[in-house]
Structure 1
């Protein structure tokens, strides 16, 4: 199980990432692009994810992942149940969502740092 604090500790290390509280929901953005957002009760984590791959992700682990609400289906977005996510999986999902929001050179510079 992961928490908002677990994600926050990772997000502060990602270049150009910033945290915002919008309508009582914690969101992480790069500029105006939201790449991770939590439900108000912090049980669900929405994150950027390629639309063409989301059906396969959800089909593979329906107890862990679900489609976003109907109004968000047009976006590259998936929702995960925080109680079902482990820290390593969260790290991969958050970094990949962030990668979709930053320029390629920013991601390349981040990945070239020691430990990545």
Structure 2
């Protein structure tokens, strides 16, 4: 299963990515100052709302392309992906980091990076990783 070291390695391997604490003091990874993945512990009201069913362990926030992708992920694997009212109407999901493999995590982090990277940077990276044939 994946760890914070995996998140860090994958995120920082993407062009123009930096790591710095979010306003809450937890780790966040950004491309051109736009967060695309971040550590997201549950807050008091969220823990109360979940009650005994509150997810335990490390939680990663992941930006997604749009609300359709968010809904698809939530429906596809509710044991891995979840959300809270804080993220209603926002294209992001939360995931239980200790329940995801490194390959799937890599795919999600790269997709999150593409969702936030400037178009020119994303296009240049896509050409670099796939070659001129795309």
Tell whether the structures are fold-level matches, with TM greater than 0.5: yes
Aligned to 1:28: 29
Verify the 8 A CA contact 2:57 2:96 in the aligned structure 1: no
Aligned to 1:39: 40
TM-score by length of 1: 0.86
Farther off after superposition, 36-45 or 23-32: 36-45
User: In 2, Cα distance between the equivalents of 1:42 and 1:35?
Assistant: 20
Structure 2 SS opposite 1:78: strand
What are structure 2's unaligned runs of at least 5 residues?
42-55
Richer in strand (by share): 1
- CA-based RMSD: 2.0
How far apart are residue 64 of structure 1 and its match? 0.7
User: In 2, Cα distance between the equivalents of 1:42 and 1:31?
Assistant: 29
What are structure 1's unaligned runs of at least 5 residues?
none
Verify the 8 A CA contact 2:57 2:98 in the aligned structure 1: no
Farther off after superposition, 6-15 or 92-101: 6-15
When the two structures are aligned, how many residues end up with a matched partner? 115
Verify the 8 A CA contact 2:80 2:100 in the aligned structure 1: yes
Structure 1 or 2, whichever has the larger Rg, is 2
TM-score by length of 2: 0.76
